[in-house]
Amino acid sequence: MVYTDKIYEVGERPPLGVIPRKMYAWTIRNERLGSPETAFQVELVDVPEIRDDELLICNMSAGINYNGIWASKGVPKNVIDSNGDYFDEKQDFHICGSESSGIVYAVGKDVQKYRVGDAICVGGLKYDAKDKAILAGMDPCFSASYHIWGYEGNYGAFAQFSRVKECQCVRIAKNLTFEEAAAAYATGVTAYRMLSRWEGNTLQQGDVVLVWGGAGGLGLSAIQTVVAMGGIPVAVVSSDEKGELCKKMGAAGYINRKKFHHWGNVNQLSEREYRNWIAQATKFKRMIWKIVGEKKSPAIVLEHPGKDTLPTSLFVCGNGGMVVLCGATSSYKADIDLRFLWLNQRRIQGSHAGTLEDADKYIDLVERKDIHPYIGKVYHWSELPQAHADLENHAYNGKLVIQIGVK
């Protein structure tokens, strides 16, 4: 390996075997916290050194997600203050980005599967692979050492190079480009785990799945995955145009949520208001039945808006079914009517990211069913703050990605 002082511009790649000492990165610093437009700035920083179980990746493309928005705002946590807590040395800057595709430029001596020159996908779930409980068979997503790369840990994807652990890496599906691979990984593996991981409530052939935010990054990916696994996706969206896109991507139909008004917490409602809430939620459930063509309620509800929708998710879920939740875009302070949980023996299950096993199975599915993620927009490297602002404003459907290894 040769180290060089030469500065490579974004889009230029050093030859394999050559590693620059400095790289361009979008950094966040304490004094700039507030919004993606102010918080993110390009700086020239040191290329991180790798440890024995780590790889140095030359990023080609990266997915945009809410981690960058929250990191820019500094809430619910200040990522700069805590970035030394997760296998990294403490730095006064933070490089975000939790989903990437790229090329391996260096490997530590303990790395087994990958070699310099391999094209790989990098996911956000990072953990200590030598954790005794994991070695004994525990799901790595349950490990105390697990955290999200590029949010809780530093040296994420929004840089020319990233330092990653082998347990974050998977091969790129043969049918995908670098942009598609970066777009597919996080939402695809998250959706796949939500549908396949939770024993007793895994997706079965012909099951109805309600997908909130059907035209969003996670939603479109979930629709494709449900179809590929033999289920019947029903989308919830905020416009007919988005609903038609969901149908094009495989949804059996859609519900325009703007036609309903029963959103948010239920515990502050008066008895009269709550009766009205039940009437609205019942109407919503009947719309699902109408789309499906029979009185078949969702076996799985794929939930992520949180506060606004959780009471409805639980109400419309089939008996013995599961509301599986991976986020809380509208607020994480939600409430529910507990009767619908125990009387109908439904389950609320949290789900977060996915393991390497989930990722491998998902990539197999992507190849077998020739799934291509729906990309709302591919941004140039220089447009990264705008990409985050667009995500926050829901400016585009589907997944947003930036190019890094392209001029």
Residue in the structure block whose two tokens are 């619908």: 340
Spell out the residues 6+ positions from residue 311 whose beta carbon is closer than 8 angstroms to its own: 265, 266, 277, 281, 334, 335, 336, 337
**Total residues contacting ligand NDP (rule CB under 6 A)?**
29
**Distance between CA 379 and CA 397 in Å, rounded?**
14
Q: Identify residue 367 by its one-letter amino acid code.
A: E
Token pair listed for 96: 């975000």
Q: How far apart are CB 42 and ligand NDP at their closest, in Å?
A: 24
Token pair listed for 400: 């947003």
Least Cα distance to 219 among 198, 246, 189 occurs for 246
Please say which residue, 201 or 351, places its beta carbon nearer to ligand NDP.
351
Check whether the bond before 76 is cis (ω within 30° of 0).
Answer: yes
Interface positions, 253-272, toward ligand NDP (CB under 6 A): 257
3-state secondary structure 242-309: HHHHHHHCCCCEEEEHHHCCCCCCCCCCCHHHHHHHHHHHHHHHHHHHHHHCCCCCCCEEEECCECCC
* Span from 72-80, 101-109, 266-274, 323-331 in contact with ligand NDP (CB under 6 A): 323-331
Instruction: Check binding of 238 to ligand NDP (CB under 6 A).
Output: yes
Instruction: Check binding of 218 to ligand NDP (CB under 6 A).
Output: yes
Instruction: Check binding of 242 to ligand NDP (CB under 6 A).
Output: yes
Rg (CA), the chain: 21
Please say which residue, 22 or 352, places its beta carbon nearer to ligand NDP.
352
Please say which residue, 36 or 327, places its beta carbon nearer to ligand NDP.
327
Q: Interface mask (CB under 6 A) for ligand NDP, residues 160-199, using x and -? A: --------------------------xx--x---------
Binds ligand NDP by CB under 6 A, chosen from 106, 164, 176, 215: 215
Please say which residue, 305 or 373, places its beta carbon nearer to ligand NDP.
305
Please say which residue, 69 or 120, places its beta carbon nearer to ligand NDP.
69
Q: How far apart are CB 353 and ligand NDP at their closest, in Å?
A: 4
Residue 80, SS3 per DSSP: helix
Please say which residue, 20 or 217, places its beta carbon nearer to ligand NDP.
217
Instruction: Check binding of 100 to ligand NDP (CB under 6 A).
Output: no
Interface positions, 385-404, toward ligand NDP (CB under 6 A): 391, 394
Alpha carbon separation from 221 to 213, 274, 386, 392 (Å, rounded)? 11, 34, 23, 18
Token pair listed for 383: 């447009």
Q: How far apart are CB 217 and ligand NDP at their closest, in Å?
A: 3
Q: How far apart are CB 87 and ligand NDP at their closest, in Å?
A: 19
Instruction: Check binding of 212 to ligand NDP (CB under 6 A).
Output: yes
**Distance between CA 204 and CA 201 in Å, rounded?**
8
**Sites of contact with ligand NDP (CB under 6 A):** 65-66, 186-187, 190, 212-213, 215-219, 236-238, 242, 257, 304-305, 308-309, 326-327, 329-330, 352-353, 391, 394
